[in-house]
Structure 1
Amino acid sequence: MDFFDLVIRYETSLWNHLDDRLRAAGEVSLANLSALRVVRRHADTARVQELRTELGITVGAASKLVDRLERDGLVVRSAHPHDRRSSLVTLTPAGDAAHDDGVAALDSALAEHLAGEDVSAVTALLARLHARVSMAVAP
């Protein structure tokens, strides 16, 4: 296998492994946790657009994801005070708890998976590579 094949297979395998670990621990799915993490990072300013951008998905997919999170009682939408075309997405108390519990389970699973690896060096490399590809596709 070459570099590209390994990167893609590793990402897919890691996603599935972490998602399985979260579900086995009774936590939200990795997709939902990823969205909750974006909403938490943006506190009271999260919109569907932030999820679209940070998760690298379409606006339609981000909107459907927020619909599911809202249905599950993890987020609420409210009118944006300055933009009638947009709404704000905030965590509910259940969403806060799901975020915190999910992040703890995720951190534990990652620590176990990455034991013995130089996580700082791998993180720095991935950040550099991501910055390069982001600059290459920027409008």
Structure 2
Amino acid sequence: MSSLSLAQHAVRLQTLLERHIAEVLKQHGLSRSELDVLGALACGEARPQELSAQLLLTTGGISNILRRLEADGHITREANAKDARSNIVRLTAQGKAIAQQTGDAVTDVIDRVLGAVEDSLVETAADQLHQVLIALGEDAPVHRGPTH
């Protein structure tokens, strides 16, 4: 029963936060997946396959996101010198700026939503959920924040 409870609480918190996050993303002209990609690239370049695996997105889904981000001037894609079958994706200066601005705005709205909760409780809950994700082998860097 505790596993069901964990899942229900996690989904409820996610739903609550997503309502507020969606407004911020709309103001910045990004989808959640686009912000996740920008956040992952804030740590450095990556191949689309790496982004797909890290962000739990299909290869088709990541291709569409990368196409939109490239059209908006947020990323560049270059041929991979080590593997001609793949590309290397990097943030542009504009992409870095929008990732930082949007990431900061998302963090601010989450902080406001969770403002009534003691910091120590938030830290404990985050640490415990992080331990669950580690146990599941799902400790991708995206879990540590959109812009690190």
- 2:116 equivalent to 1:109: no
- The letter of the residue matching 2:105 is A
Aligned length in residues: 131
Deviation at 1:73, TM superposition (A): 1.3
Deviation at 1:27, TM superposition (A): 5.0
Stretches of 4+ aligned residues off by more than 3 angstroms: none
Question: Normalising by structure 2, what TM-score?
Answer: 0.78
User: Among residues 23, 29, 32, which one is paired with 1:30 in the alignment?
Assistant: 32
Aligned CA-pair RMSD: 1.9
User: Among residues 12, 16, 32, which one is paired with 1:9 in the alignment?
Assistant: 12
Q: Is the 8 A contact 1:34 1:55 kept in 2?
A: yes
Deviation at 1:6, TM superposition (A): 3.2
Show the 5 A alignment for 1:42-81. Answer: 43=44, 45-81=45-81
Find the aligned partners of 2:66 and 2:36 in 1 and give their Cα distance.
12
Find the aligned partners of 2:21 and 2:100 in 1 and give their Cα distance.
16
Find the aligned partners of 2:9 and 2:67 in 1 and give their Cα distance.
34
Find the aligned partners of 1:88 and 1:29 in 2 and give their Cα distance.
22
Q: Identity across aligned pairs (percent)?
A: 28
Q: Is the 8 A contact 2:17 2:113 kept in 1?
A: no
- 2:34 equivalent to 1:21: no
- 2:104 equivalent to 1:129: no
Find the aligned partners of 2:35 and 2:112 in 1 and give their Cα distance.
19
Find the aligned partners of 1:131 and 1:65 in 2 and give their Cα distance.
27
Relative contact order (alpha carbons < 8 A, sep ≥ 6): 1 or 2 greater? 2
